[in-house]
Amino acid sequence: MDSATAKVAIVTGAGSGIGRAVSLALLADGWSVALAGRRIERLEETRALAGDAAGRALAHAADVADPEAVTGLFDTAKARFGRLDLLFNNAGTGAPPVPLEELSFDHWKRVVDINLTGAFLCTQAAFRLMKDQDPKGGRIINNGSISAHVPRPRSVAYTATKHAITGLTRSTSLDGRAYGIACGQIDIGNAATEMTQRMSGGVMQADGSIAAEPTMDVAAVAEAVRYMAGLPLDANVQFMTVMATDMPFIGRG
């Protein structure tokens, strides 16, 4: 993919973990990428890691839970790159692992605002660009999580939002058909990132016991997203699960 034919992506949560790995993989494939996240210094770190491809990366600080910040992100990306071919809705957060009845409203609301409302706001902004550009259309990939299928103990806010992402994915797929907008979801289990470091020390299981869980290289997730992103728009991976082979998922639900 040369500069004349480079496709354009926006990746949210691009300052670390899965978002960083996916951003670097897309840049290595020749994409131009708007790196979005709350901390500009982390986004600049991602950009620097792209090496020779850094010139095709735009670091833009934005809180996806803020409608004005989302508008600013998409306006800036359009001004810089001219169009949008891919949105990877990846930004997410969790709440403290406390009993359901003890979860504070503020923690609940912050998880919903980032994981669900943020993904909706970015999807809405992407629709507006993809419908009107020439050629029209594009692809949206939502980061669902294994928790879109089955919960972990004490994860009501995170699990509820990830189940809701599945509904967002399906509605986006349906509403996008008329405009050449494809939407799919990747459900990830135990990729080795900053968020999963605690798993090696043991996390609560459904029976209340504490057990260490296997993880997988985050590069496997980046490879999966690269595949989904690289498909022609007349083909779509609707749902994909990529997970550490030995993690306790199959059998826990």
Query: Cα(65)–Cα(189) distance, rounded to whole angstroms?
Result: 24
CB 136 within 8 A of CB 126: no
Q: What predicted TM-score, i.e. pTM, was given to this entire model?
A: 0.93
Q: Got the DSSP string for 101-121?
A: GG--HHHHHHHIIIIIIHHHH
Give residue 2's pLDDT band: very low, low, confident or very high (50, 70, 90).
very low
Is 227 marked active-site? no
Which among 74, 81, 88, 158 is annotated as catalytic? 158
The pLDDT assigned to 113 comes to 98
Amino acid at 17: G
CB 213 within 8 A of CB 248: yes
List the one residue out of 240, 19, 248, 244 whose CA is nearest residue 150: 248
Query: Cα(154)–Cα(168) distance, rounded to whole angstroms?
Result: 23
Q: Is 164 helix (H, G, I), strand (E, B) or coil?
A: helix
The pLDDT assigned to 17 comes to 95
Residue 125: is it exposed, middle or buried by C-beta count within 10 angstroms (0-12/13-18/19+)? Answer: buried
Predicted confidence (pLDDT) per residue in 150-184, tens digit: 888 999 999 999 999 999 999 999 999 999 999 99
Whether the ω angle into residue 135 lies within 30 degrees of 0, i.e. cis, is: yes
* Structure-model confidence comparison of residues 152 and 45, the more confident one: 45
Predicted confidence (pLDDT) per residue in 205-236, tens digit: 888 888 888 889 999 999 999 999 999 999 99
| Segment 90-115 mean pLDDT | 97
Q: Got the DSSP string for 77-104?
A: HHHHHS---EEEE----------GGG--
pLDDT at position 253 over 50: no
Q: Is 128 helix (H, G, I), strand (E, B) or coil?
A: helix
| Segment 106-116 mean pLDDT | 98
Number of residues in the chain: 253
Phi, psi of 173 (to 5 degrees): -60, -45
Predicted confidence (pLDDT) per residue in 61-95, tens digit: 999 999 999 999 999 999 999 999 999 999 999 99
The pLDDT assigned to 196 comes to 65
The pLDDT assigned to 91 comes to 97
Structural domain boundaries in the chain: 8-243
Question: What CATH architecture applies to the domain 8-243?
Answer: 3-Layer(aba) Sandwich (3.40)
